[in-house]
Amino acid sequence: MATLNRHGVNLYYEVEGDGPAILLTHGFGASSQMWRGQMEACSDRYRIIAWDMRGHGATDSPDDPRDYSEPATIADMLAILDACDVGSAVIGGLSLGGYMSLAFNLAHPERTRALMLFDTGPGYNNPKGREGWNQFAIRRAEAFETKGLASLGESAEVKAARHRSAEGLAKAARGMLTQRDASVIQSLTSIDKPTLVVTGADDTNFLAAHGYMSENIPGAMNFLIDDAGHAANIDQPEAFNAAMETFLASLPD
């Protein structure tokens, strides 16, 4: 367990194991604790770095809404890799964390060895689709502002988290869960890194995105995990870990 102070914001992260580095980013409303099963299963062969995004878990919730953004999240990821003395890593994440992993690769391809995208989507080419998503994100923010942490819900990855601030989650929804443009989805066809796409077969909201990424990212390896929902790594850890291991074993040295 460690913290990194970046411009006054303390970022919480955990590092376990030795070997090739993997940076894992959680979904909205979750925390680094959702990766506990992967850290326990893989740390004998890999160096697993899991962290809490702004407003989540044990990371700070800054007061200024401008401190929550996609660029700030990417910069946080880069700073954690630097703090761990990692030149390049396998960059992976679930849901919002998967989207941020794609955004990180777009900004810092030289630091990305490979990508792992779990139960996530690449955004929208259609501005109307993006606006619909952003309205959903704003409703999430408003729920935290009116109901507090009670609005988190009962999904598996969320139940594994312990948050300190409903206000931080609301600001994260407004500044990080919302999307600004189509740059991430338009980057898919130019991705030149080995990529894994994994989705729970019961995660119906993300099955179309699973197919779209699998078809548009050159050479992507993909798996659907039976009897798993949005947190496939928690719902079916053995099948999920096996898919991840198959992919990692295929990476060039």
Domain map of the chain by residue range? 2-250
CATH superfamily of 2-250: Alpha/Beta hydrolase fold, catalytic domain (3.40.50.1820)
How far are the Cα atoms of 3, 4, 8, 141, 215 from residue 102, in angstroms, in the given order? 24, 23, 26, 23, 15
Distance, CA of 11 to CA of 54 (rounded, Å): 7
One pLDDT digit (tens) per residue for the chain, 253 residues: 799 999 999 999 999 999 999 999 999 999 999 999 999 999 999 999 999 999 999 999 999 999 999 999 999 999 999 999 999 999 999 999 999 999 999 999 999 999 999 999 999 999 999 999 999 999 999 999 999 999 998 888 888 889 999 999 999 999 999 999 999 999 999 999 999 999 999 999 999 999 999 999 999 999 999 999 999 999 999 999 999 999 999 999 8
* Strands ordered across the beta sheet of 47-51: 2-6, 9-16, 47-51, 21-25, 89-94, 112-118, 195-200, 221-225
How far are the Cα atoms of 51, 71, 174, 206 from residue 128, in angstroms, in the given order? 32, 23, 18, 18
Evaluate if pTM is beyond 0.85.
yes
Cα atoms found within 13 Å of the Cα of residue 157, Cβ hemisphere only: 28
Distance, CA of 113 to CA of 21 (rounded, Å): 9
Q: Which residue has the tokens 């401008």?
A: 66
**Inter-residue contact 83 to 4 (CB < 8 Å):** yes
> Of 203, 198, 225, which Cα lies nearest the Cα of 214?
198
The pLDDT value recorded for residue 253 is: 80
Distance, CA of 122 to CA of 185 (rounded, Å): 5
